[in-house]
Amino acid sequence: MADMGTLQQRAMLRGYEQQLLAARRLARFRVRRRIAQGEEPYDPDPAIKRRAFVEQVAQELYESLLFTGSDNPVVEEIRESLSGLVGMELEFTYPPGEKLCVVGKGPHGPRTLTEEEQRRIRNALWRITRQKVDQSMLVKPSGLRA
């Protein structure tokens, strides 16, 4: 015959299981209700929240620190990765009254890159920045891989 402690533990676990099942049913009901009302369903998946946070941090790095200059080690690593990918050192400048200008420093000296080259470099910079932020995040929800 099982002792009282084991019976109480089983009863307690059964109660927890019923609570979890009820919470899941309630969450599914809320999602269906939101969809029926034409709203965006709330996805409790922590990967979505993490991805949004990665995008937010990457955007901050991309917009402010990378173009304005910073001694931040992460920014330096991103710049080195981009330079390695492009094959030359890059400088981001804002000429007076103009938009962002990317200057490449090659063996023949500095030169302003074409619009197409600048677009490709900004796209590569965004990908590298996002990847670097994603890799350096300290907390990863369970079930996610880097």
For residue range 102-139, list pLDDT tens digits in order: 888 888 888 888 899 989 998 999 999 999 888 887 65
pLDDT tens string 39-91: 776 666 677 778 888 888 888 888 776 666 677 788 888 888 988 998 888 88
Specify the residue for token string 């670097």.
Answer: 132
Count of C-beta atoms within a 10 Å radius of residue 54: 19
Q: Is 96 left (phi over 0), alpha (psi -120 to 50) or beta?
A: beta
Question: With a threshold of 0.75, does the pTM exceed it?
Answer: no
